[in-house]
Amino acid sequence: MAFEKPGQFFGRAARQGGHKQLFVAVVAVVALALAACTSTQPPTPGESDIREVLETAFENIEDRYAGDVTSRDLSIDGLNALADADPVLRIAVADETVSVIYDDRPLASWKSPPSRAYERWAALCANAMAVSLQESTTLSKQGREAALKRFFRGGLANLDQYTRYATPGEAGLTRARREGFGGLGITINYEEGRTSIRKVHAGTPAFKAGLQVGDTITHVGDIPLMGLSQRSVVARLRGPVHSLANLIVHRPGAPGPLKINVIRAHIILPTVETKQDGNILTIEISGFNQGTSRSLGKALAEAEREMSGGLKGIVLDLRGNPGGLLDQAVAVADFFLNDGRIISTRGPHRRANQIFDASWGERVRKLPIVVLLNGRSASASEIVAAALRDSGRAVVVGASSFGKGSVQTIIRLPNGGELTLTWAHMIAPSGFSLQGHGIIPAICTSGEEERLGISRAMAEKNAAGLRFLRMHLAKRQVNRHDPNRARKLCPPSKEKPAEDLAVARFILGNLSIYNQSLKDGGPMIAEH
């Protein structure tokens, strides 16, 4: 998961050089000047488009990637990956030349540019790809976009696992998850070609039009949905904001098909769900998109109104949350902090070194908080957990988190695709790197022994429970200087055991245990 906005690195409360500022790292709009290239073949159709994509990618990788990589490295690895698609296609790299050879016949040759001459390497690769596509039946059948994807897969293979290329189609889907899309406001079930409504989100066009859970959508306009792929169905249901979707719906109990017209609106997928259990509010955040902090603010305001000051504690459930937008993680943490550090980032690019501090003022002042994590809690969710743990604001319960402590920025490419590029690493307020370590809970529930012991402790109530939890915390305390060992003692389980919520409610109902957990379950010791 990446946590970023296309073309932007967020920082609502960022400081650089000691000055607060709004920081936006705008993706460079490259002047697409065409580099000269010596070739035995003239440029072929499509070469210019490919060149623009590669030029944008190479420039940004050389400038922003959190590691040392050259356009030559990317080019040679990418061209070799392209050649692997056809057994008789070969890229020959000599000291000063790069050649394309097909069935032992030299097709074209170019003089090798300097390693960091990204414009010239982009031109060379674009020509080589165009020639290969023209000559290779295998590549031509797959098409230009498939060849470009193969090239990037090879070119980026030696970089970190989070740096990747997305085709225009793939990029469109991920943008929709981050930024929203023109749609109806429903969640669908797709089974054996049948499209039924699993959820209708409140306040959306679907809700206002009267669509219901259990409805089966058979047609959008004149197009039947049966037989279409799930991706095609989603594409039919979505469309431009304010456009009309004419649906034919089968509803259980209705005498016949229903014709329902829905005006599409900008839909941001919901990521926040709340549940009140007595005087405890459980907030589950499934991801961090553009609507997350706004939804959280509404949920907290509603809970405050309904409970009229009777709220005694909050469970922030981040289990299974893979991350999302950095600015949203900062904003969510800020709801629960009055001041202090939220996260900082470090990288070779000067703009990658950022500090994010709390600034809004705490919305839930003095309320005890428990954060739930598991092995699928990553990235932006780890930012929130680290900020609340290190500030002494929350007790972390569950399993060790994933340990994704890198920051990505997204580069929009001229073909509509995207390059997700790692350019910094995250540092917790305590000074500890999140990469590979993640967040280690104060109270671990990822082992069967731990779950049984915790269940017995809670059954015995206050005094016995306190003794058990103190022993458990002491076990972890021994390993504060050894995060790898501590992580092994609390492995990153992907499960969501019921014990997590039970422990959270138990310690929120016993302030002495909660306070002891805060004291003994603080941050790991930063490496120096």
Bridge partner residues of 242 (DSSP)? none
Q: Are 124 and 72 in contact (CB under 8 A)?
A: no
pLDDT at residue number 401 = 95
Q: Angle at Cα 176 formed by Cα 261 and Cα 153, nearest 5°?
A: 140
Q: What angle do CA 122, 128, 131 make, to 5 degrees?
A: 140
CB 438 within 8 A of CB 484: no
- Residue ranges of the chain whose pLDDT lies below 70: 1-48, 308-309, 360-361, 447-483, 485, 522-528
Closest CA to 9 of 359, 325, 343, 291: 325
Instruction: Report, as residue numbers or ranges, the catalytic residues.
Output: 379, 390, 404
The pLDDT of residue 447? 65
- Cα–Cα nearest to 321, from 276, 389, 379, 397: 379
**229 vs 190, 234, 236, CA distance in Å?**
9, 9, 11
User: Is-contact 173 165, C-beta < 8 A?
Assistant: no
pLDDT at position 506: 86
Contacts of 13 by beta carbon, 8 Å cutoff, 6+ apart: 20, 330, 334, 342, 356, 357, 358, 359
Q: Do residues 264 and 239 touch, judged by C-beta distance below 8 A? A: yes
- Which residue carries 């017209």 as its tokens? 261
In this predicted structure, what is the pLDDT of residue 13?
36
| Cα diameter, the chain | 84
Radius of gyration of the chain (CA): 27
Residue entry with tokens 């972390």: 396
Token pair 């797959």: residue: 142
Distance CA 487, CA 436 (A): 10
* Signed CA dihedral, 162, 165, 167, 172: sign only: positive
| Closest of 268, 271, 269, 267 to residue 316, by C-alpha | 271
Strands 258-263 and 265-267: unpaired
Closest CA to 374 of 453, 313, 440: 440
> What gap in Å lies between CA 414 and CA 168, rounded to an integer?
10
Packing angle, helices 462-477 and 511-520, rounded to 10:
0
The conformation of residue 485, written as its DSSP 8-state character, comes to H
Burial 489-510 (b: 16+ CB within 10 A, else e): bbebbebbbebbbbbbbbbbbb
DSSP state of 11: -
Closest CA relative to residue 54, chosen from 123, 145, 6: 123
Q: How far is CA 230 from the centre of its chain?
A: 22
Question: What pLDDT shows up at residue 519?
Answer: 79
